Amino acid sequence: MTSLIIALPEEAEGIQGYSIYISGCGKVNATIATMEAIDSGATRIINYGTAGAVGDISGLVEVTGYVDRDMDVRPLGFRLGQTPFEEGIRIGRKGLVVGSGDSFAIGKPEIECDIVDMEAYAIARVCKKYDVGIIARVPFDEGTLTGKITKDTKFPKEDWRSTYFVPENLISSVEKVDMIRPLIPSGISMAEVALKFILMNNNVGTVIPGCLLYTSDAADE
């Protein structure tokens, strides 16, 4: 069962078909709501709501990293945002990082993150603790980690990657993949390595692969 954790009722308007928990603001409230969802049988939890952008970010975003911007134990040698003797929370590939805290962020926070909110870290921490399913999507980075995309790959207009892979983005992505190629053992594909790497993360329950690769001449799975 999929449940949504949403801080405020206004943020849930128009959402149907899910079990919705209105947590209220802050990490303690979010923790309580997440535990209630798990106790009610949730096997997958989606945190949905509004957040503040640190940089030039807008629209619907997917977060893959979580930090607690209230945690500051630097006098004992830990980095800002690190809970002592614990690693941070990372899901799947490298992406946007949210910094959660019980204070309303005004201006750029001291901790390194892309967006700020007041609940996400607590929700992710509870899900990790109680092994609630996490699905990793886009394991092949829009197809580049299949090893089949080159600097000369062309996408048809109906493929959204024709706008995503502008020349500088395509070239940079392919160059990074080329750096990995010498590390791939013989007898195994780059796609297999990408999947194995993600599934080594104990927080990930399953992976959604599947990318249709278009070239100028043909389309290959």
pTM over 0.75: no
Question: Is there a contact between 67 and 111 (Cβ–Cβ < 8 Å)?
Answer: yes
pLDDT at 151: 85
pLDDT at 25: 92
- Helix and strand counts by DSSP (H, E) for the chain: 5, 12
Question: Is there a contact between 146 and 190 (Cβ–Cβ < 8 Å)?
Answer: yes
Q: Which structural domains are found in the chain, ordered by start?
A: 2-133 (3.40.50.1580), 136-220 (no CATH)
The least confident of 58-62, 103-107, 145-149 is: 58-62
How far is CA 202 from each of CA 35, 63, 92, 179, rounded to the nearest angstrom?
Answer: 20, 18, 10, 26
Tokens coding 94: 């490298």
pLDDT in tens, 18-48: 889 999 999 999 999 999 999 998 888 888 8
